[in-house]
Amino acid sequence: MIGRKFALWLSLAFGVLALTAPASSTAAGEEPCNGSVELCGRSLDQVVLPGTHNSMSNEEYGWALPNQHYSIPTQLDMGIRAFLVDTHYGKPNGSGKITNVGEAEGHATDATIYFCHEYCTLGSTELVPELAKVAAFLSSHPREVLVFVNESYVDPTDFAKAVTESGLIDYVYTGSTDTYPTLGQMIAQNQRVLMLSESGTGSVSWYHAAYQGAMQETPYDFRVSEAGDPLTTRQGMDLLTGASTLDSTCRPNRGGTSGNLFLMNHWVNGYLDNSNPTVPDPAVAQVLNQREVLVNRARACETRRGKLPNIVAVDDFGDGDLMGAVRELNGLTRPLLSLRRPARRAVRAGRKATYKLTVRNLGDDDAPSVKVCVAVPKRLAVKPKCRSLSLNMGESRTVKFSVRTRRKGRGAGKVTFKVSGWGDTVATSAGLKVKPLKKRNPA
């Protein structure tokens, strides 16, 4: 099931991203920050990050009532860079499940810390091993910056201990939240994970109180109106999609208007048919996570609050086009993929024209699935099947395409090559000339 949804997410990304020209201006030695060289000179509070709500609650790990399709490690691989999580103490209950332990008891008994959403019996993931996977990702992806916002029900010193044991402490940002360095500076200092808490932070210097000066946000419960009246799922969705109501959805909530970082909460709980008011429904995310919907609301929030959101947090991010929306909001124009234009070809009708297309991954990540498609003039040739390939970070690969010309084809045209993957689509073209078959001399 997860594999099918991953493929669906990729196909949606391929389908809606606009074509861009190859990044011919990318100089040798330029290295991207969070996937783009254009972000390196921006401070953290000038960047828009793709985020997930209840990031730990996911279908991949078998959680009940999940908010996401994918686990945090998979989300990292797919480009998510901000995570809204919950942590609780817990203990095994003898039936293969984890039961919540209160904060005072958990701290006193040195209980294990888990990612849980309210009730650990519905789903739990032990904190230290999962954070170790995040640390491993950062080790292999040295130019990525992340933000964690923790709804914590554990003692801050115990959370800090877990971060240390996992190895994630090696990447934690220790600076101020009054002003932020650029992404390039955070990467150079290897302080690439900002840790925020929705509750107390104790004496942990790198653990920052989210809503006490570090961050501001929008409302997050759209099952009630601004006046406090209950709403259906559909009515909540209308708030987030209607031009006349967007301003209201951007009003200040926790953190007032003082935090340098700005979180846009963008989800509605409940089934689309309103049969359950609390369970997340991917059908709702399919609507709310569309690129146009996300961009329009973010722009409305920019108008009301004086700045773009820095975190756009959604449910079921694989549905819709969160990545495309964030790319647009960041104003990115340079692609992660680069193409070298193939040479033009001239062949006799009925013969094959072979093109060599070189694709390069300029991003700071492996691209596990890159799709290469070719469009040909129908009067001249038969369209070949699309190809898939993987590109490691910095890798270039040459793909051969044989285009079979029609026996009755005549004239010249353009063959277009489109390469899609990892939130980017690039295209180039090459000429095709089809010459008539030589006439045979009569015997």
Q: In this predicted structure, what is the pLDDT of residue 438? A: 77
- Say whether 116 sits in a helix, a strand or coil: strand
The burial class, CB within 10 Å (0-12 / 13-18 / 19+), for 110 is exposed
Indicate whether 442 belongs to any domain: no
- Say whether 32 sits in a helix, a strand or coil: coil
Instruction: Identify whether residues 385 and 317 lie together within a single domain.
Output: no
Instruction: Identify whether residues 98 and 237 lie together within a single domain.
Output: yes
Instruction: Identify whether residues 231 and 250 lie together within a single domain.
Output: yes
The CATH number linked to 421 is 2.60.40.10
CA atoms of 3 and 59, how far apart (whole Å): 12
Phi first, then psi: what are they for 369, rounded to 5°?
-145, 105
Name the DSSP letter for residue 151. Answer: E
State both tokens at 203. Answer: 């004496």
The CATH number linked to 38 is 3.20.20.190
Indicate whether 16 belongs to any domain: no
Please check whether residue 279 is in contact with residue 65, taking contact to mean a CB–CB distance below 8 angstroms: yes
Please check whether residue 402 is in contact with residue 353, taking contact to mean a CB–CB distance below 8 angstroms: yes
Please check whether residue 101 is in contact with residue 151, taking contact to mean a CB–CB distance below 8 angstroms: no
- C-alpha dist (Å) from residue 123 to 87, 97, 316: 12, 8, 17
The two beta strands, 124-126 and 311-314, are unpaired
Q: In this predicted structure, what is the pLDDT of residue 29? A: 45
The burial class, CB within 10 Å (0-12 / 13-18 / 19+), for 440 is exposed
Instruction: Identify whether residues 241 and 108 lie together within a single domain.
Output: yes
Strands (DSSP E) found in 93-247: 98-101, 112-116, 124-126, 146-152, 193-197, 207-209, 215-217
Instruction: Identify whether residues 428 and 291 lie together within a single domain.
Output: no
- C-alpha count within 13 angstroms, C-beta hemisphere, residue 134: 32
Instruction: Identify whether residues 310 and 362 lie together within a single domain.
Output: no
Instruction: Identify whether residues 200 and 289 lie together within a single domain.
Output: yes
- Say whether 251 sits in a helix, a strand or coil: coil
Instruction: Identify whether residues 95 and 177 lie together within a single domain.
Output: yes
CA atoms of 121 and 389, how far apart (whole Å): 40
Q: What residues make up the domain containing 175?
A: 27-329
The burial class, CB within 10 Å (0-12 / 13-18 / 19+), for 417 is buried
Strand-pair partners of 403: 353
The two beta strands, 49-52 and 82-92, are parallel
State both tokens at 367. Answer: 């691209």
Per-residue pLDDT tens digits of the chain, which is 443 residues long: 455 444 434 433 333 222 222 232 333 346 889 988 889 999 999 999 999 999 999 999 999 999 999 999 999 988 899 999 999 999 999 889 999 999 999 999 999 999 999 999 999 999 999 999 999 999 999 999 999 999 999 999 999 999 999 999 999 999 999 999 999 999 999 999 999 999 999 999 999 999 999 999 999 999 999 999 999 999 999 999 999 999 999 999 999 999 999 999 999 999 999 999 989 999 999 999 999 999 999 999 999 999 999 999 999 998 999 998 998 999 986 656 778 889 999 999 999 999 999 998 876 456 777 889 999 999 999 999 999 888 887 788 899 999 999 999 999 999 999 888 766 777 889 999 999 987 766 65
Q: What is the pTM of this model?
A: 0.76
Indicate whether 397 belongs to any domain: yes
| Total domains present in the chain | 2
> Max Cα separation, the chain?
102
H or E stretch covering 90:
strand 82-92
